[in-house]
């Protein structure tokens, strides 16, 4: 039996149906104490997390398999105190998220979405579409050089971009390290956010960083919506203080601030960076593995 601690994607749930007994909150509540204490595995997602009240009812829980790379929805210190190993799925998310980030960079610079609208509106008959920017030679700043950030850097460098990055510290990487995000914004044309979410990065990109990115600068976010001060971003886009943004994540999902929909310089994506057939295949395979060998890839507090 596996306790469902938070929402999990429907395709993951369907893939596990018949293989394991997934116990939702109602089914867990109906069990007696000894039965709940016998449950050693939990299942949730990076967005679903797991609250202390539910964990209190599962004293025998020893591992949680989590769909997704993020851990900011979890109290890692509390899990450590309880002796519970958190097992996310970062490796299977890396390639697709990095690929999406690169796609959004290209879409922004080459006006892919805007040009689609231009043709559909019939504006082509009146004149030429607006000019974009060449991707090769653009200065790219990556915020957070973890698994995903490093792959973004590698892919964009292969396209001829000049890559710099920032993070907690410099890494053994072939790109230029910049000590903080504001200085990085000064030095680049496109700022790509691939850092972790949570309180440590909340509002990391605000009005000052956006102003230092400047009117020819672009922002791409495939990390967490909380990393960006959305009110400041909307104001910067409305006032033309940055050239554009592409967002796969938002502070409020699935109902982001409606003002984003009115901004022609903003590309919107429904937290879909990992939505590929290959990812779902690999993800489901990894979740199956974790439910059998969950403690082997645990995240410590």
Contact 172, 196 (CB under 8 A): no
Q: Which of 19, 253, 262, 278 is catalytic?
A: 253
Given pLDDT bands bounded at 50, 70 and 90, which one contains residue 298?
A: low
Chain centroid to CA 211: 24
What value does the mean pLDDT take over residues 114-138? 98
% pLDDT > 70, the chain: 97
List the chain domain ranges.
2-88+277-297, 92-268
Under the banding of pLDDT at 50, 70 and 90, the label for residue 253 is very high
Does the pLDDT at position 297 exceed 60?
A: no
* Fold equal for 2-88+277-297 and 92-268: yes
Examine the residue annotation and report whether 138 is marked as an active-site residue of this protein. no
Over range 14-41, report the average pLDDT.
93
Nearest-angstrom CA–CA distance, 228 and 191: 12
Q: pLDDT at residue 295 above 70?
A: no
Which CATH number is associated with domain 2-88+277-297? 3.40.50.720
Mean pLDDT, all residues of the chain: 95
| Residue 293: both structure tokens together | 């060998």
Catalytic annotation on 271? yes
Report DSSP state, residue 260: G
User: What is 92-268's CATH topology?
Assistant: Rossmann fold (3.40.50)
Average pLDDT over residues 160-173: 97
pLDDT digits (tens, 9 = 90+) for 204-223: 999 999 999 999 999 999 99
**From the candidates 62, 183, 202, 271, which is the catalytic residue?**
271
Candidates 36, 151, 212, 224; catalytic one = 224
Q: What mean pLDDT comes out for the span 68-85?
A: 95
pLDDT band, residue 18 (cuts 50/70/90)? confident
pLDDT in tens, 176-185: 999 999 999 9
Q: Is the pLDDT of residue 16 over 70?
A: yes
This prediction has a pTM of: 0.93
Q: Is 224 a known active-site residue?
A: yes
Residue-level pLDDT at 299: 55
Q: How many residues does the chain have?
A: 301
Average pLDDT over residues 61-86: 96
Q: Which residues pair with 247 in a beta bridge?
A: 221, 268
* CA 196/CA 178 separation, integer angstroms: 18
Phi, psi angles (nearest 5°) of residue 258? -60, -15
* CA angle 130–133–136, rounded 5-degree value: 155
């Amino acid at each position: 039996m596996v306790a469902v601690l938070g929402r999990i994607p429907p395709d993951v749930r369907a893939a596990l149906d018949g293989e394991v007994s997934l116990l939702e909150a109602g089914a867990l509540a109906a069990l007696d104490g000894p039965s709940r204490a016998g449950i050693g595995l939990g299942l949730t997602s990076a967005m679903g997390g797991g609250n202390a009240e539910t964990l209190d009812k599962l004293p025998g829980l020893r591992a949680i398999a989590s769909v997704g790379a993020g851990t900011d929805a979890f109290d890692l210190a509390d899990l450590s105190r309880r002796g519970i190993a958190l097992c996310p799925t970062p490796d299977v998310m890396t390639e697709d998220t990095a690929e999406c980030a690169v796609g959004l960079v290209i879409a922004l610079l080459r006006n892919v979405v805007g040009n689609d609208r231009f043709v559909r509106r019939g504006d082509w008959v009146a004149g030429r579409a607006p000019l974009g920017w060449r991707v090769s030679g653009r200065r790219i700043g990556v915020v957070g050089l973890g698994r995903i950030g490093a792959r973004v850097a590698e892919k964009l460098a292969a396209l001829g971009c000049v890559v710099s990055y920032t993070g907690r510290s410099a890494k053994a990487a072939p790109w230029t390290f910049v000590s903080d995000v504001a200085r990085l914004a000064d030095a680049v044309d496109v700022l790509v956010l691939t850092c972790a979410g949570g309180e440590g990065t909340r509002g990391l990109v605000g009005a000052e960083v956006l102003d230092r990115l400047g009117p020819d600068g672009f922002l791409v976010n495939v990390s967490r919506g909380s990393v960006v001060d959305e009110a400041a971003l909307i104001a910067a886009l409305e006032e033309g203080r940055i050239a554009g943004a592409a967002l796969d994540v938002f502070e409020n999902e699935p109902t982001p601030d409606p003002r984003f929909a009115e901004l022609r310089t903003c590309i919107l994506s429904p937290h879909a960076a990992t939505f590929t057939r290959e990812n779902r295949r690999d993800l489901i395979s990894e979740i199956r593995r974790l439910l059998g060998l969950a403690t082997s890839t645990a995240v410590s507090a």
